[in-house]
Amino acid sequence: MAAKNFEREGPFRPFAIRVAKNKAIDALRRAEVKRIGPPLDAPIYREDGEEITRKDLLLGSKGADVDYFEDREEIEKVELLSLVEEALQEVLTPTERKVFLEVQYNEKSRAAVGRELVPPVTGQRVGQIIASATIKIRRHLKSHGRLADESLDAVPSEGGEGDG
């Protein structure tokens, strides 16, 4: 059980993400074992030679296994979250990670985060750090097939109030 591996001194978020990811993988494996026949994404061919999948036939049709598709969407969300967590830890520098998390998740202002850094920087510089971090995270997601090229062009707002 995951609870026995929990370290009270460590951050909770990475632990919770790992537990969720493992639960999603377990659910996917159980679904794979229960399924009889080839996987839903295995190609089949119509009489006219068009390649389709069983999923194409099932999705939205009467009697389709809605639970399978809903579970799959949840698993994909957990996998995406895991990739973002991986990017935060492996792609960003410690300063980029601190700035990105403080502004995006803790909703601190860029100016406040800039004052906390050593040496202190301006809110404008914090915005530049966030933009750079966002680009790195998106490139990491794209390298794992999770984003389209055009989504790399848009940088989200940096959040926070009272910058300056």
| Domain spans, the chain | 91-164
* Residue 100: Cβ within 10 Å count: 24
pLDDT in tens, 57-69: 655 554 455 555 5
**How much is the average pLDDT of 80-105?**
89
Please tell me whether the overall predicted TM-score, pTM, comes out greater than 0.75 for this model: no
Q: In whole angstroms, what is the distance from residue 84 CA to residue 13 CA?
A: 13
Judged on CB neighbours under 10 Å (0-12, 13-18, 19+), 48 is exposed
Name the residue with tokens 């980029």.
Answer: 96
DSSP secondary structure code for residue 151 in this structure: G
What's the chain's length in residues? 164
Amino acid at 13: R
Which residue would you say has higher pLDDT here, 118 or 81? 118
